Each structure stands twice: as structure tokens, then as C-alpha cells.
């Protein structure tokens, strides 16, 4: 057995690397490509009840240390998205996370009922997108009460393990994480993008992206992600998929040391290419060999 192999919610994995929602995952072919290049788990882009075009371009801008983006949860809608998951599962047995987005418990429950009929392995509740505040207001993950209500209602109907994706953009992340666990969440996913922030074109004197504001991702957010994963994993017993700025094997080691069970790699796919999963898996294995670590579970700090 490889030193990088692990388990997550009773699923055996070759390595701890996850393709997060919103990265090359609108179609089954994109998810397949990620698995072929080393990802062990893939996440379908967050799906809504009906298709969404998202924001007009440009929606992504490079900044020192990362990216700022405001996609606006563009997606093909729950029915078409689940069809892509079916195609993926017909060709690959890697676990897939179906991610859903809504603004109220009732709609999350309706979307969950649709996912129940699919071949998805896990259900992610996107409670934390910072890029649609102009439409939907403050992210749900900023409210412990909202998080508790939504997870409680979803758990009543979901046939799949429920993963709650939390926001870094609130002062009480630990309390919200504990509330998610109390409501029955089987795992947490954190962090979503930081911000929102803004980039200004000083020649044109206007925002670089059309929506003006967007979520910050990439290496510059890694210290924030590590801190929050560390704090949360000392207060909850359910596993955490840690993400935010991971772009190397050393970064993955740091995330595992902070307490993450699995490690998401998103922006680095854009900046370093899809082979990043194989690169990180190899670098992680080499680190374990150098430090005489037999299991990635042993990386976690006390």
C-alpha cells in the first residue's frame, strides 16, 4: 500500500487529492481528465435548480500570488449536471461529489432529492459562495442558524454522506463548523474563496472583472486556509477536506499537518496544469519517504 493511500468516509483512495467544485468539472470529460492525471476524488460544479449563465466576462483576473474570480455559479442546472455525473460513473469508479447551491433549506432539500437518484458518492452543500452577494446577500455559511437548519433538513432526506462547504469570510468559523457537525454533517469542506476582493485597471480606471468584486484564491490564501483548518479540526470529530492555495507537495503536507483528511487542489490546476495532481502526489510520497512516514494520517500535528 502506498504511503499516500487513505480512506474517506469508508472509501479507499490512492491519494488524498480532490478536484474541488468549479475547476474543470462542468462535464464528465473534465472530471475524467482530472482522475487520469492523479486526482482521487472529483467534485461536480455546484448545481442549481435551473441553468445559470453566470456573470458576463471577464470573470477571472491574475494577481500576485493567485487569482480573483467571479463566475457567478454558472452551471447547466441540476438535471444536465447529474447527467454528466452519470456519464462519468459509467466510465470511472472514482468517487464523485455532487455539489449543490441554493438559498433556502427547502430548495436544498429539493436538489438533494434529485441527487438521491444519481450515482454520485457524496453530496456537497455549497453554503459559502462569495460571488453572488449582489443576488443572494451574505453567504449562508455566515449564519450558524442557517447552516444548522439547512443541514438538518437535508440529512432527513439525503441517501448520501453530506459535506458542508464553509466560508472563511466570517469571524465565527469554528462555531459554524461545530453547528454543522451538530446538525449531522458527515464532513466539512473548507475554505471557499476569500473576500470578495477587487482589482482595478489603472489605465482604464475600472474594475478588471465585470462583476467588480470576486473571490480570492491561490497561494496567497494558504496561510488563512491552514489556520482555519487547524482551528476547526481541533473542535470537530468529522473529517475536513482542506483547500485554499495548495500548489505543491509541501503545501499538501502543511494542509494534512493542520488536520485535513483530504486536500483540494483548485487554482493550481489553472496555474500549473492538470498534471499538478500527479506532481503533488509524487512530491507528497517523496516527503513521506524522506521523513519515514508510513501513512499520511501520521502527518497531523498534535
CA 289 to chain centre: 28
In angstroms, the CA 16 to CA 7 distance is 8
Q: Point out which residues pair with 207 in neighbouring strands.
A: 200
- Contact, 209 vs 215, CB < 8 A? no
Q: How far from 260 is each of 100, 152, 242, CA to CA, in Å?
A: 22, 24, 5
Handedness of CA 170, 125, 211, 266 (dihedral sign): positive
- Contact, 175 vs 166, CB < 8 A? no
C-alpha cell at 51: 441553468
Catalytic: which of 92, 129, 220, 288? 129
In angstroms, the CA 18 to CA 222 distance is 16
Q: Catalytic: 129?
A: yes
Give the residue among 218, 270, 299 at the shortest CA–CA distance from 6.
299
Helix axes 249-258, 222-233, angle to 10 degrees: 30
Contacts of residue 57, defined as CB under 8 A and 6 or more positions apart, other chains included, come to 210
In angstroms, the CA 280 to CA 270 distance is 14
What residues act catalytically?
129
Amino acid at each position: 500500500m502506498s504511503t499516500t493511500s487513505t480512506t474517506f468516509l469508508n472509501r479507499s483512495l490512492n491519494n488524498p487529492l480532490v478536484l474541488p467544485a468549479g475547476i474543470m468539472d462542468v462535464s464528465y470529460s473534465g472530471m475524467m481528465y482530472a482522475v487520469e492525471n492523479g486526482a482521487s476524488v472529483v467534485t461536480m460544479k455546484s448545481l442549481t435548480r435551473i441553468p445559470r449563465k453566470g456573470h458576463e466576462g471577464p470573470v477571472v483576473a491574475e494577481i500576485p500570488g493567485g487569482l480573483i474570480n467571479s463566475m457567478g455559479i454558472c452551471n447547466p442546472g441540476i438535471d444536465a449536471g447529474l447527467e454528466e455525473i452519470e456519464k462519468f460513473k459509467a466510465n470511472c469508479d472514482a468517487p464523485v461529489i455532487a455539489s449543490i447551491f441554493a438559498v433556502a433549506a427547502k430548495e436544498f432539500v429539493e436538489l438533494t432529492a434529485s441527487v438521491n437518484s444519481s450515482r454520485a458518492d457524496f453530496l456537497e452543500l455549497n453554503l459559502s459562495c462569495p460571488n453572488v452577494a449582489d443576488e443572494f446577500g451574505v453567504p449562508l455559511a455566515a449564519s450558524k442558524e442557517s447552516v444548522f437548519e439547512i443541514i438538518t433538513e437535508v440529512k432527513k432526506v439525503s441517501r448520501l454522506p453530506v459535506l458542508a462547504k464553509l466560508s472563511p469570510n466570517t469571524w465565527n468559523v469554528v462555531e459554524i463548523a461545530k453547528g454543522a457537525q451538530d446538525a449531522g454533517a458527515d464532513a466539512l469542506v473548507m475554505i471557499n474563496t476569500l473576500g470578495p476582493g477587487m482589482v482595478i485597471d489603472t489605465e482604464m480606471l475600472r474594475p478588471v472583472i465585470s462583476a467588480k468584486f470576486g473571490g480570492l484564491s491561490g497561494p496567497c490564501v494558504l496561510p488563512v486556509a491552514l489556520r482555519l483548518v487547524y482551528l476547526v479540526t481541533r473542535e470537530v470529530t468529522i473529517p475536513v477536506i482542506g483547500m485554499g492555495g495548495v500548489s505543491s507537495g509541501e503545501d499538501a503536507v502543511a494542509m494534512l499537518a493542520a488536520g485535513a483528511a483530504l486536500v483540494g487542489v483548485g487554482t493550481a490546476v489553472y496555474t500549473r496544469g492538470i498534471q499538478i495532481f500527479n506532481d503533488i502526489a509524487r512530491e507528497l510520497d517523496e516527503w513521506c519517504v524522506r521523513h519515514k512516514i508510513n501513512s499520511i494520517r501520521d502527518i497531523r500535528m498534535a
